[in-house]
Structure 1
Amino acid sequence: MKQHAPAAARNREPIAAVLAEELPATGLVLEVASGTGEHALAFARRFPTLIWQPSDPNAAARDSIAAWREESGLDNLRSPLALDAASAAWPIAYADALLCINMLHISPWEAAEGLFAGAARILPQGAPLLLYGPYREEDVATAPSNEAFDASLKARNPAWGLRDLAAVDRLAERNGLGRARRTVMPANNLMLIYRKQ
């Protein structure tokens, strides 16, 4: 039932360090595309004053999240929601922060559009949308490992692939969010913080 993603163990500490600076002290954090649930577990444990709401459109992923949650016994880790970022109907109406790790490049662009539209609907003014993953940037050379990753993603699904950061910024602006931070992370990833204006 429980699934493991090796990357989750590698990147959770660098991500948590940024979250510690950007998340509110209290409130509800919606994690979109929680995958195995290992990040949700680690961050709920790391930030006990926050309520962590994991979600995923995939039933097997939700089963894994539920198994990690049950084993942990954490009071601030909620049962996973069936949430498809691309859908206009989300099963949650409000969050104090929204986190999405490694989704934009492993989903069609419609999922990115839905993510920002959803953030605009459920976040209060000034609240953060936090994105982690690899991106293409103008005037920044793309690492060979990211080029290879992009090619492998597109071979699996032509609608997938590394997103252009300028396009993501434009999408944010169309939905009333502005980029407040760009942090270089290990393994050629970025942490991007957008805030509802």
Structure 2
Amino acid sequence: MKQHAPATLRNREPIVEVLAHELPASGSVLEIAAGTGEHAVFFAEHFPALAWQPTDPSAEALASIAAYREDYAGTNLAAPLLLDAAAPDSWPVTAADAIVCINMVHISPWQATEGLMAGAARLLGATGGPLILYGPYIEAGVETAPSNLEFDASLKARNPLWGLREAEALDRLAAQNGLARSARYALPANNIMLVYRAG
């Protein structure tokens, strides 16, 4: 049942450092595309005052998240929910104080990112909570690492609808939904975290 993503162990500490700056002190966090569930357990453990809601569109991922949750001693990690980011009008969650999305934007069709922004605007618009994205992005004026270019090519070879996105394209999409970028963090392995809030 449990799946393992090797990158999780490498990136979870730097991600937690950023989350500590951006997440509210209490409330609920919606994790979109939670994958294996390893991040969800780690984050829930680090932020016990936050109710952590993992979601994913994959049945295999949901099973893995549930398996990891069984071993979690805390009470702030909810059972995983099926959620397709590309269908924001049918999300099973109607409120959140923050949204976290790790490594989804480049491993999904652009429609998923469009839905993510629309859903985030609907859920976070009233609270001003953050939408926090993590992954590799292409940025104007910033040289793209050769490893990221190779990764982009491999993604497109697997699925032409996948691939690294331009951070500026995300900014434009966010603006169309009433969101604006409030922070950018450089993380190891040529990844960045982008934070958007209503405004």
What is the TM-score normalised by the length of structure 1?
A: 0.99
C-alpha displacement of 1:116:
0.3
Alignment of 1:21-60 (within 5 A): 21-60=21-60
1:191 is aligned to 193
SS of 1:116 mapped into structure 2 = helix
- Aligned partner of 1:149: which letter? F
Secondary structure of 2:106 counterpart:
helix
What SS class does the counterpart of residue 143 from structure 2 fall into?
Answer: coil
Q: Which digits, 9 at most, give the CA deviation of each residue in 1:154-185, with x for residues without a partner?
A: 00000000001110000000001110001110
1:69 paired to 2:69 = yes
Q: Give, as a single letter, the amino acid of the residue that structure 2 aligns with 1:43.
A: F
After TM superposition, the runs of 4+ consecutive aligned structure 1 residues lying more than 2 A away are none
CA distances 1:75-114 after superposition (whole Å, capped 9, x unpaired): 0000001000001310010000000000000000000000
Q: Deviations along 1:2-44, whole A, 9 cap, x unmatched?
A: 1110101100000000000110000000000000000000000
Counterpart code for 1:196: A
Contact 2:82 2:92 in 1 (8 A): yes
Percent identity between matched residues is 65
User: Partner residue of 1:101?
Assistant: 102
Question: Quick check: 124-133 or 105-114, which moved more?
Answer: 124-133
- What is the Cα deviation at residue 187 of structure 1? 0.2
Cα deviation, residue 139, structure 1: 1.1
CA RMSD of aligned residues (A): 0.6
2:160 alignment partner AA: P
Match of 1:90 in 2: 91
Tell me which amino acid in the other structure corresponds to 2:141: D
Contact 2:97/2:127 (<8 A) preserved = no
Q: Could you state the TM-score of these two structures normalised by the residue count of structure 2?
A: 0.98
Shift of 1:72: 1.1
The residue number in structure 2 matching 1:10 is: 10
Query: Which residue number in structure 1 is paired with residue 183 of structure 2?
Result: 181
Q: Which sections of structure 2, spanning at least 5 residues, go unmatched?
A: none
2:150 to 132, 148, 151: 148
Unmatched 5+ stretches in structure 1: none
2:97 maps to amino acid? D
Confirm or deny: 8 A CA contact 1:125 1:195 kept in the other structure. no
Q: Which amino acid is the alignment partner of residue 84 of structure 2?
A: D
**1:125 Cα deviation (Å)?**
3.5
1:37 touches 1:61 (CA, 8 Å); kept in 2?
A: yes
Q: What letter is aligned with 1:160?
A: W
The AA in structure 2 aligned to 1:177 is L
Quick one: which of 148, 165, 168 aligns to 2:167? 165
Contact persistence 1:31–1:55 (CA under 8 A): yes
Q: Report the equivalent of 1:112.
A: 113
How many pairs align?
Answer: 197
